[in-house]
Amino acid sequence: MTATGKKFTGKQTPMEIEGVLFLAAGYGRRDEPLTLIRPKALLPFGGTSILGRLAVQISSACPRRIRINASRCPEALLNEIGSVWPSEMCELYFEERPLGACATLARHANIMDTGTWMVVNTDMIIEDFDALGLIEHHRTTGSTWTVLTGDFPPEGAYSPLLLDEDMKFGCGGIQKTHYWGISLMEPSISAAAARIQASGGLFSELASRVTADCGRLTACRGIGRWLDMGRIDSLRRNILSGGSFIHPTACISSDISLSGVWNIGRGCILGSGTELRDSVMLEGSSLESGTLHESILPWFCSSRDGRSV
């Protein structure tokens, strides 16, 4: 559902785009063991998931088509975007193993051959993502590939994207910025990916090829905070920054204690006398006894005496 509680109908606006490609096929190794059961795109944030929040934020751009790649729980991912857009707009592309962003673009070249496409990572939260502002920047600058960038997170090591004095990338530069995981691409970008059949990241061989083809590659600076939902050491804190939430299907005894911030997912169970402090319970998990303190209880796991896995 959208923020207004109404399902998106596909009504077009002057800032419409052709489609959105969600990249959700990664193994999620940085978030193991959580991602051994479900992909990180389905991790919670507020009353929805990472993918659900991104879908609502992007819906203002009125895309005509929605496509998502997946290698784990594909139907669950498709259902998540299907709660925002009509099912007939949504397409699933299954990858038996993750191909990497560039190779995935190559595989979708025949799909992304018209109009502007938004390509979205699904392992992050952008608190104040302005989809229409990004599209306006893309069209005003006449770019063939626009990336959303911003400040680096205060923790973690990230490879910088280098920009020149005109906020262009792919041709060197000394200005360092952080890629926020969202791009706008014209058909020439996926076509270039198909020609080189590269695997892995976007900003080495593909950016060089597009630059050599005289493409215009620019960066648009975002505002707000970017939260890395792919780092297990900061995941709990980042999930809880979305505020406390209890799913209406959770079964909670009347004598439990809640303190700090919490996120209690669909079908969770909190037994008599249990205590939850600054913790996350993923869908289907149960706390039978004790205190869960500054922890994440994985999907469909049961804990006694507050022990998480």
Domain range holding 288?
244-303
From 233, 261, 277, the end of a domain falls on: 233
Residue 265, in any domain of the structure: yes
Peptide bond connecting 187 to the previous residue in cis, omega within 30 degrees of 0: no
Do 88 and 220 lie in one domain? The reply is yes
- Angle (CA) 88-89-94 rounded to 5° is 95
Q: Which amino acid is at 184?
A: L
Residue 8, in any domain of the structure: no
Do 223 and 108 lie in one domain? The reply is yes
Cα 245 → chain centroid: 20
From 205, 233, 261, the end of a domain falls on: 233
Listing DSSP states for 154-211 in one string gives SSS--PPEEE-TTSBBSS--SEEEEEEEEEEE-HHHHHHHHHHT--S-STTHHHHHHH
Do 158 and 284 lie in one domain? The reply is no
Whole-number pLDDT of residue 38: 87
Per-residue tens of pLDDT for the chain, all 309 residues = 333 333 333 444 457 899 999 999 977 677 677 877 889 999 999 999 999 999 999 999 999 999 999 988 999 999 999 999 999 999 999 988 888 889 999 999 999 999 999 999 999 999 999 999 999 999 999 999 999 999 999 888 899 999 999 999 998 889 999 999 999 999 999 999 998 866 657 888 899 889 988 899 999 999 889 999 988 889 999 999 999 999 999 999 999 999 999 999 999 999 999 999 999 999 999 999 999 999 999 999 998 876 664
Do 229 and 252 lie in one domain? The reply is no
Whole-number pLDDT of residue 149: 97
From 198, 233, 268, the end of a domain falls on: 233
Do 141 and 273 lie in one domain? The reply is no
Whether the Cβ atoms of residue 251 and residue 283 lie closer than 8 Å to each other = no
Whether the Cβ atoms of residue 203 and residue 119 lie closer than 8 Å to each other = no
Do 44 and 71 lie in one domain? The reply is yes
Domain count, the chain: 2
Whether the Cβ atoms of residue 47 and residue 245 lie closer than 8 Å to each other = yes
Contacts of 122 (CB under 8 A, 6+ apart): 22, 23, 24, 39, 40, 41, 50, 51, 54
Q: What is the CATH number of the domain that holds 83?
A: 3.90.550.10
Do 116 and 153 lie in one domain? The reply is yes
Residue 2, in any domain of the structure: no
Whether the Cβ atoms of residue 102 and residue 4 lie closer than 8 Å to each other = no
Do 129 and 185 lie in one domain? The reply is yes
Do 298 and 208 lie in one domain? The reply is no
Do 159 and 267 lie in one domain? The reply is no
